A and B are shown apart, each in its own frame.
Chain A
């Protein structure tokens, strides 16, 4: 069952240098129930923009995006009830405890006390948050904050969960725990859109993946499909080659005489990643 359908989605911003900056350039993908769909791309590729459109925070310039068959533009209220959004900056109120924060969002989702508190207890137990349920946000570690963020996203039991570089800044232990939570949610039948630029996470978590670069989806498929299509078993190499090929194509479009750099050793190529890698 396709819970997320993105069709020819474009998003442009006015830009002082270029006049118009295309953050998303005609991207299309679908994500199904019970799968983790990865959006893999370097920083500035357009992953966050796409996810923000799915979360109804931004409006698309053109194209359509549907979540649980609700249009993100015209049926934003329904979409918001159908998603849980976990962002990379944890987004925790400093002066609220974990319990208060999750309760607040539960109330915003109009959950009745009879339903809200048992669910909170269940989520707190599942995510092992009981120890710090009364701890204010300012005193929480990054791992604790991310758990609260996940609990907040899960409180209304949405069918679609969006993780926007959720493992950013987490230590190995917490990142592992996060991955376990994501896989558990997938097993519960949730549709998970997981944005990242970490290869190992993709390999470990994602059932299907879309490689995003400069606002475009370069390729989509399962990891074996991608490996077969591009004749490359090393996923990191595959990723690099796709990005380099795109750069070459863009250069050729701008200036057809410039030389391709596909043959250059990966070690000598400029890294597409930013400082977060």
Chain B
């Protein structure tokens, strides 16, 4: 790569963007103005903010016990009491109010009934008439015991003031009741002290700066990442879609700068603006907060200032470290997506979904309880945010422990995003896309007429999506079933055949010319089959170890654990042949035909075997309902995908899947039935905590054997391929010689 080209393109693009007033306003001016304006508004609002008072109407206050009044004369609380007397007009309204006793007439001042009906419209009218936010009605004969009589409170929960009035009234009644109970206890031998809770002396050892950092560490990464994403948007659209629109991209493409160099030049520009936007926001927010908090401090809001003062300056350093890789990733993604668009308007439509996809990853760290762990560190963006937060909190050991994972994932994501962007620029169909015609009938006709032997990439993605959606609804509708063998059989058959295999078979029949090729049905060699089965046996201990590690990291919920235990019980108490048929053979056939068959065939197109392996593994993982299962299934999906690629069909992966599932079922059933380990397997199995598991010796040995088998398979296939290539070249050379001789 010629870096002088990259530098030239970068300089030009930056200069170009700096001359664009709209971009400059969004990226530079807006952040500088936004926070001071927000701060100004906050200060203004704070000045006008007063404690909200509510008006509470009371009917029948004369019925309240006189010994302990509810309304004190020197009442300075938020409640403005309105002692209401039942005037003629109110009586008319009350008469119409129909607070009816079940058996008696509509005497409003009688003892309140247990059940009564309120006409909502009339109640609202009454509230407006007496100009109260809520009305309490104290019936005759009320003795303050809360036992025999019921206080009625009329409110309109649609009004915020009414909600507040009810809350304040409840608090007042509660404190009144507490005082009454105390008085009564005081007159008994028990004394008032029985009501006193244990005394707690709270000593907060945190320094104010670290307390402030705690709040900021949650807010700032979110704010900064949102702005990093926003900052990448506009330049990305202008640099790709804008250039296409102006026709300048074509000129650049026939210049000496290669596509990769153009992408890097543009990427650095987008990244530069993304970082600048994030940092400008950060600094603007910091200074505005500092000034606003000083003002609040002067106004006496010291508690707020202590908890939300300016961000400790050293924490900002860690945020700077975070923003660079995240901006790089967002910029590459924005650039790749923007390159699909033909105009800036279209670019804005495309980038919106990117924002929607990116948001959950940015918001995930804000959920209470989400901390840096091996599990969260592998999630893109989230891991990086959590690590920067750990750094800001001073948990350096914890952060350093997860640094390799977070750095690897972030760098990997960045590289993948850049690679995607470069591929978009190298694709003629993306760069010189014509406007598409949107004729549905034409499209349907062409789908049938132009169908190929195998599905297209888009058809594969579509099928995967359909299956995931069907699985979601299928599982929801089958969720209410009781866990027993019959229901397990029913749900497995419905899910596997109806939901997973069904859509793929239908699509293969409609959208392709060859179902055999679409499902990748081919006869495997005996050696491939033998090696695959051997690999399934050898990799099972590793799978169990991974599954255990995943379960330890992401704890199963109580309900799921109970369900799995019940599931094991059912398997243990059912004939093993049925279990193997329904839970090992059927899923293996259906899932392999779909994931390593139909989907794989489509995704393999245009040399996309890596894409096929990765995407089918992820889809295979997502098709499993439980998160922990999804992770392990995705890992196994990678192995199955690789085998599907190497063996050229699904027969071997079906065999692998059957063996794998069968071992799992046999181990579960044997553990449940507490069967002794057969003598010939004593070297491989042992009983630990009542469950059958692999011995340490076999666990270690199996890894070695598995690696050998994998290496051998890889080498053998490569050798075969090389031989084929050599053969074909040999044939070409021979034909050429014959031609020359003629």
Contact = CB atoms under 8 A, between A and B. Distances in A.
Contacts of B4: 110
A44 B514 CA distance: 35
Contact of B247 (A16, A19, A87, A152): A87
B19 A95 contact: yes
A16 B254 contact: no
B446 A17 contact: yes
Given A16-B446, A19-B450, A93 B254 contact: no
B446 A87 contact: no
A104 B256 contact: no
B20 A95 contact: yes
A89 B446 CA distance: 33
B449 interface: yes
Contacts of B250: 52, 57, 85, 87, 89, 91
B251 A109 contact: no
Contacts of A152: 251
A17 B436 CA distance: 11
B428 interface: yes
Contacts of B536: none
A56 B254 contact: yes
Interface in B1-18: 4-5, 8, 12, 15-16
Contact of A108 (B8, B428, B432, B450): B8
B209 to A, nearest CB: 45
B147 interface: no
Nearest to B428: A58
Interface in A3-29: 13-14, 16-17, 19
Interface string A121-156: 000000000000000000000000000010010000
A179 interface: no
A251 B517 CA distance: 37
A14 B15 CA distance: 38
A77 B256 CA distance: 6
Interface centre among A16, A80, A110 (most CB of B within 10 A): A16
A83 interface: yes
B207 to A, nearest CB: 51
Size category of the B interface is 20 to 34
A58 B255 contact: no
Given A80-B256, A94-B246, A95-B20, A107 B251 contact: no
B460 to A, nearest CB: 17
A104 B12 contact: yes
Nearest to A56: B254
Contacts of A108: 5, 8, 255-257
B428 A92 contact: no
Interface string B287-322: 000000000000000000000000000000000000
A152 B503 CA distance: 55
Interface in A148-203: 149, 152
Contact of B255 (A16, A59, A93, A109): A109
Given A108-B5, A108-B8, A57 B253 contact: yes
B258 interface: yes
Contacts of B253: 56-57
Nearest to A108: B255
Nearest to A93: B248
Contact of A104 (B8, B254, B258, B429): B8
A91 B246 contact: yes
Contacts of B246: 89, 91-94
Nearest to A84: B254
A245 interface: no
B437 interface: yes
B87 interface: no
Contacts of A80: 254-256
A59 B5 CA distance: 22
Interface residues of A, number: 33
A174 B20 CA distance: 30
B705 to A, nearest CB: 46
Contacts of A19: 446, 449-450
A96 interface: yes
Interface in A24-76: 52, 55-59
Interface in B56-110: none
Contacts of B15: 96
B16 to A, nearest CB: 5
Given A91-B248, A93-B16, A96-B16, A57 B255 contact: no
A94 B432 CA distance: 21
B396 interface: no
Contact of A90 (B19, B247, B436, B449): B247
Given A16-B446, A94-B246, A108-B5, A85 B256 contact: no
A119 interface: no
A46 to B, nearest CB: 14
A59 B431 CA distance: 12
B443 interface: yes
B199 interface: no
A85 B254 contact: yes
B206 interface: no
A104 B255 CA distance: 11
Interface string B13-46: 0011001100000000000000000000000000
Contacts of A57: 250, 253-254, 432
Nearest to A88: B247
Contact of A55 (B5, B254, B257, B258): B254
B442 interface: yes
A81 B254 contact: no
A105 interface: yes
Given A58-B428, A93-B248, 8 more contacts: A14-B429, A83-B254, A87-B247, A87-B251, A91-B251, A93-B16, A96-B16, A104-B12
Smallest CB-CB A-B distances: 4 pairs = A89-B247, A55-B254, A95-B19, A91-B251
Interface of A: 13-14, 16-17, 19, 52, 55-59, 77, 80-81, 83, 85, 87, 89-96, 104-105, 107-110, 149, 152
28 contacts: A16-B436, A16-B442, A55-B254, A57-B253, A57-B254, A58-B428, A58-B432, A77-B256, A77-B258, A80-B254, A81-B256, A85-B254, A89-B246, A89-B247, A90-B247, A91-B246, A93-B16, A95-B16, A95-B19, A95-B20, A96-B15, A104-B8, A108-B5, A108-B8, A108-B255, A108-B256, A110-B256, A152-B251
Interface of B: 4-5, 8, 12, 15-16, 19-20, 246-248, 250-251, 253-258, 428-429, 432, 436-437, 442-443, 446, 449-450
